[in-house]
Every structure is written in C-alpha cells, then in structure tokens.
Amino acid sequence: MSIKNPPSRSRIIGNVLLTVGSLFLLLNLFAPQLFGTPIPRMPYSLFIDQVEDGNVSRVSVGQNEIRYQVKTPEGELGQVFSTTPIFDLELPKRLEAKGIEFAAAPPPKNGWVSNILSWVIPPLIFVGIWQFFLGRSGGAGGPAGALSITKSKAKVYVEGDSTKITFDDVAGVEEAKTELEEIVEFLKSPQKYTQIGAKIPKGVLLIGPPGTGKTLLAKAVAGEAGVAFFSISGSEFVELFVGAGAARVRDLFEQAKKKAPCIVFIDELDAIGKSRASGNFMGGNDEREQTLNQLLTEMDGFSAGDATVIVLAATNRPETLDPALLRPGRFDRQVLVDRPDLSGRLKILEIYANKVKLAPGVDLREIATRTSGFAGADLANLVNEAALLAARNQRTTVAQADFNEAIERVVAGLEKKSRVLSDKEKKIVAYHEVGHALVGAAMPGGGKVAKISIVPRGMAALGYTLQMPTEDRFLMDDIELRDQIATLLGGRAAEEVVFGTITTGAANDLQRATDLAERMVTTYGMSKVLGPLAYEKGQQNNFLGDGMNPRRMVSDDTAKAIDAEVKDIVEGGHQQALSILTKNRDLLEELAQKILNQEVIEGEELQSYLGRVQFDKPHALAV
C-alpha cells in the first residue's frame, strides 16, 4: 500500500499572496525614506536662536514637525530645516515679534501609491491567511477549497508492491482471517454472490483487546483484494465546528463511492458510536450524535451501484456502541480478534523473527510458551526488544538469552542497578521474594517459578519472582484462584515468619489479592455463604480488564457479607502461606542466603531448591 497525497494549491496561493502583500507593505512604509529627499533636522534650541537672530524667513508649524526656511546673507530664501516641536506657548508671540511669516501645516495627503496600497494590502493579507489555513485544514481526500474544514481526513492507500500487506503477514487470528476471506472473495468476484441473490455484509466490526491486530487485518483485506483502502480514526470526525463531523462522513463516503470497489476502515469506532442512551450525548444537536446519525444514514444509503463499498470498523469496547450500529444491514457481522493461543503466538513470532538475525538454537516454541496472554503487538515489541539487547551487547545475532531478558523487561520493567538498597532492605527483599517462590512452588494451580531476583526493576519493584505459565488456560476453578492468593501473600508471610513484623513492600500484593478475592465473590459466584449470585454489573466483552464494572446496588447486610467473605478468602490464603513457610523454614533461610550472595537464581539451580518444598493439603483452609 502507498499513501496518495494531492498537491496543496491553496497553500501555494496563500504563500504567494502573503509575500506580495508584505512587499507592498514594506514599500509603503519605507518608500519615503528610500526615494525622498531628506530634510536636515535641527535641535529646537537652535531653531529658537535663529528666530531671535532674525535668520528665519517663514515657519510651518505641524503637530509632529516644525519646518522653517532660513535667510541667506543676501536676504534671499535659503535652505529648509525641520525640528521636533515641544510644548511652547510663547512661540507664536516670538514669531510675530520678529515679523516672521508662519502658518499651521496642512494635514498630510497620501499619494496615489499610498491610496492604492491602503486598499490592496489588507485584502491581500486577509485572503492569503485564509487560503493558508484552508490549505492546512484540507483533507487528503481532495484539494482544499472554501469548505475544506468539512473534507474527510481519511488516508487513502492504493495498491503498491513495496508495502503491500496480505494475510501472510497476519498470524494468530485464523478464525478472523477465515471470516474476512469471504469479504476478499466478494471484492474480487462479486458476481459469484450477486447472481444467486446473495448480499455481502455492508459492515464488518472487528472487536478484541488492544494490540491484537485489528488494523493490520483490515489492511490485509484491502491488500488481498487489491482495492483502495480509506483509513480514518473515529476521533478525526469530530471537531470544534458544529456539523463538521457529519460533513466529513458525507465526504468520506462520496470519495469511497468514486473509487469503488474499496474498503473504508474506521478505527476506534466507539469515539463516535457510543450509545445515545448512555448519557454520553447532551441532546439532538450534539456534534457526536450528528456524526453518528450521518454514519447510519450513509450505511443505509448504499444503492446497487455502491454495493462494493465495504465498511470495516474496529473497537475494543463493543458493549458501549449504539444498538443502531449493530443491527442487520449496517454492521451485520462481528469478528472477534482475540489474543493468540500457543500455536498463534508461535506463528506471530516466526513472522517477526524473520525480520531479525537469529542465532542458531533459538527456540521460538519455548518463547511462545512463556508469553501466555501476549497480544500480537506485545510479541512484535518483544522481538524488537531482544534485537536491541543483542545490538547493545555488540552481537550480530539475537540469542535465546536476549529473548529471555526481553520477556522480563516487558513483564517486570527495566533493571535499576543504580538503586542501591541498604543491607537491611536487601535482606527483607530477599526473604520476601523467596517467600513468594516457595509458596508458589507448593501450589499446584500456580505457574512454574522460573526466576528469583532482588535486583530492582521498573518503577517500584525492589525484587521480583517470575512465574511462567506451562500452558494456556481459559478457565480456572476456585482452588486455583485461592492458590494464586496464597502465592501473592507469600512475601508478606515470609516477613512475619522471619522478622516478626511487616513492611510496605507487600502493598501491590495485597491489592491484587483483594481484587481477586472480590471477583471470586461478586463476579464468579464462588462464595458458599452468598451463593451463585453476581453482585457486579457485568459488561459483556470487556476486553480491557480494567475493573470498570461497578458493584450493583445491594443492601447494607449484603455489602457486609461480601466484605466478610472477601476478608475470609484473603485471610485463608494468608494462613496457608504462613503454614507452608513455617514448615519449610530451613529451606527459606538457605535459599534466602543463596540469593543474598548472588542476587539472581534461576534454571536448574532454582528448581533443585524448589523441589524440596514440603506441604500438606494446601487447600485445607479453603472457605
């Protein structure tokens, strides 16, 4: 694909007019000084002396200047001089007493050049500035004109071999690709469908978490079909000017119809397509509502000749969209673009790994296994980070160690070796992280503990315990969730067992454990006391996992019961962690001393320690 940018004629015209106007203005201001004959200026005191001596023949008194003509020794009229007037009420009396002819200067008269310039320069400057700003606000869809503020800002991609994107460049979303292949087939040979009376969907909505490749999929559809591709974000429709968004929608579809068959891609559709019943609109004259109404009208207005204009849109918040957008005849089909599974991550890594130089022996499958939950954009960033690390270390190929370090940088943040801890703090961090590791190793439902480090990382992590999933998980039972809570509280429990006190280092662990326990009670219905009820207003397809679902309106007694259940679950995990660490106190001391000496422990050495963990029925305290 390549972007087609039309030349900006209005900007050129505006610049020319501004230049011409500036030249005329400069000539008008400085022409008298450049071409006129200068008049010598004298101090006012010298002028008065010449008046008293009778050497002045005539005087012209103006508001800003006094001009006077002196006498020659022969009594004839001599040279003219000028001076700056001051507030002198005695001047007329002095001139009259000496018999000097004087008069007030007439107001200045502008010449024909000045008159012309005074009429020409302001309009030239105004028109030049107007054309300049209109040229800047003109969209890519056509030349800027008097109403270019209403032009569409969509970027137009046309087919080009150098940057063409196809389905071969997209991996990990095989089901979505299968759905979109039908769109490609229709764009290539629409008669196959129309001859039997079938109608292709006018709109296809791509939904999924951020970074999963929705925009890339849309470009691949255009690349496979070999048609024009209009790309615009939903936020680019709405402007300060009322009606500009609706006008841009009209202009976008007019351009698309001229280039049919083509694809119109609207990213972040929720920017203009939010439900009108959700309180996001202020009334019938709201700019976003007008834009949405115009979009609905344009999608309904395709005639038979415009059937090859297909609208693709992407959003990660489909639950916020207006129902009118999702009804049949508009966005008929919704395609889920989810995070990839193990095989999908492996294919994505293979695509991006082909763009860098890999060292022999790099195991992409192992990397795919360790990156559960990563989206396509995360994996692309991972490969790039590994390549940067290899280049930083003066290597010509990317090794497995670079990928391992890149995973830690993405998950835990950058190492901060400059953050020096005191011996006491370092000791507390060591026992804290070993506590996480030992409890995590005792929990069958947790991931594999792959590394312990007391080197500070990220914004606030003074150390970290890295747990890697051994397989993709889509469902978790209540026992596994309680295991996770116990593992999160292992660090705090270790501080209590060893030091008999607690620190602020467990703040993030407590927050995550509490949130997980609350979801168990209010969302998953895993409380025996409250029963299989949902106490949160669930929002379907909330891919962000941002905790935006508010709790339902419940009675005070129910709220107290929820809080009590959450506390019991967290306290159960806390006691479970204390029990495991107390039973393995010697191993806790041994492993903590080991990590204090070398700061990092991983691989087989770490597994030899974790294999000695002893525990008895870790779920006996489950509520």
- The rounded Cα 192 to chain-centroid distance in angstroms is 41
Bridge partners for 468 per DSSP: 448
Percent helix / strand / coil, the chain, rounded to 5: 50, 15, 35
Q: Give the separation between CA 504 and CA 511, rounded to whole angstroms.
A: 12
Q: Taking a C-beta distance cutoff of 8 angstroms, is the pair 199, 308 a contact?
A: no
Residues in the chain: 623
Whether 231 contacts 155, CB under 8 Å: yes
d(CA 434, CA 343): 33
Give φ, ψ of 551 to 5 degrees: -70, 145
Q: What is the DSSP letter of 140?
A: T
d(CA 174, CA 345): 12
Element (DSSP H or E) covering residue 511: helix 507-522
Contact 340, 171 (CB under 8 A): yes
DSSP, collapsed to helix, strand or coil, labels residue 39 as: coil
- Which of these, 259, 174, 249, 271, lies nearest to 217 by C-alpha position? 174
**Cis peptide bond prior to 261, omega within 30° of 0:** yes
Rounded Cα–Cα distance for residues 200 and 568 (Å): 55
Distance from C-alpha of 280 to C-alpha of 274, rounded to nearest angstrom: 7
Please list the active-site residues: 433
Is the separation of the CB atoms in 150 and 204 below 8 Å?
A: no
- Tell me the C-alpha distance between 383 and 399, whole Å: 11
431 burial level (CB within 10 Å; 0-12, 13-18, 19+)? buried
498 in Cβ contact with 504 (< 8 Å): no
Q: Which residues contact 88 (CB under 8 A, 6 or more apart)?
A: none
Of 334, 150, 139, the residue nearest 249 (C-alpha):
150
Per-residue burial over 293-322, b = 16 or more CB atoms within 10 Å of its CB, e = otherwise: bbbbebbeebeeeebbbbbbbbbbbbebbb
With 0-12 / 13-18 / 19 or more C-beta atoms within 10 angstroms meaning exposed / middle / buried, residue 146 is exposed
75-84 residues labelled b (16+ CB within 10 A) or e (exposed): eeeeeebbbe
Tally Cβ neighbours within 10 Å of residue 159.
Answer: 15
For residue 84, the Cα-to-chain-centroid distance in whole angstroms is 63
Burial of 382 (0-12, 13-18, 19+ CB in 10 A): buried
